[in-house]
Chains A and B, each alone.
Chain A
């Protein structure tokens, strides 16, 4: 298996622009998670899905953030409009069960200028 695949690896955009991050989880994993990592706050859970249904989005910082999972093999995290404070590394992870170890992608480094 190729593991969790994220794209793009790097994204540089200007404040106010829309940003879309993409994730392909490991086939057969029922859970998909979006995390954000910064030096100040470490890894923070934004939202997670079970069988394509959003279960807990309490970590989504504002209405500017939205996530979708239209099918078992694809998810997006969208920020509209983007702000400089959104600059971080965004990770997607998947797991077989909720309490199973997470398999992370290599992240998208987002820079908003």
Chain B
């Protein structure tokens, strides 16, 4: 069965304290891996798509990387406005439907 697991469930950082969020997956026929950010009371907002192992994407303080079994979302020198839940989703199989992880809730304290 296709699975997407995110860790940790919650992460508290001090402003400026860099860290990484993990998304591990077991799927057949990976088509793409997506990262989304979700703020309270809002829908998920697209951040990155990664298609093949070794690929990297960057946006401001965020950098996403992909291997054959997992993806990391690195956050460098985070600010309080980076506080949100970060969701990973994998598109795989013949149907190509997105399978979401349960997310990592990131809190950045000033």
Dominant SS among interface residues on chain A: strand
Known: A99-B91, A101-B49. A56 touches B97 (CB 8 A): yes
* Contact for A104 among B43, B96, B97, B101, CB less than 8 A: B43
Of all chain A residues, the one with the shortest Cβ separation from B100 is A43
State whether B45 touches A45 (Cβ < 8 A).
no
Inter-chain CA distance A106–B44, complex, in Å, is: 8
**CB neighbours of A93 from chain B (8 A):** 43
Q: What's the minimum C-beta distance from B24 to chain A, rounded to whole angstroms? A: 15
State whether B98 touches A107 (Cβ < 8 A).
no
Type the 1/0 row for A38-77, where 1 means its CB is closer than 8 Å to any CB of B: 0000111100100000001000000000000000000000
Among A42, A45, A91, A93, the one with the most B-chain Cβ atoms within 10 Å of its Cβ is A42
Of all chain B residues, the one with the shortest Cβ separation from A33 is B98
Of all chain B residues, the one with the shortest Cβ separation from A48 is B97
**CB neighbours of A103 from chain B (8 A):** 46
Type the 1/0 row for B10-49, where 1 means its CB is closer than 8 Å to any CB of A: 0000000000000000000001101000000111111001
Inter-chain CA distance A103–B101, complex, in Å, is: 17
Interface size class of A (residues with CB under 8 A): 10 to 19
State whether A42 touches B46 (Cβ < 8 A).
no
* Contact for A106 among B43, B49, B101, B103, CB less than 8 A: B43
Interface residues of B (CB under 8 A from A): 31-32, 34, 41-46, 49, 87, 89, 91, 95-98, 100-103
Closest 3 pairs between A and B when the two form their complex, measured CB to CB: A104-B43, A43-B100, A101-B46
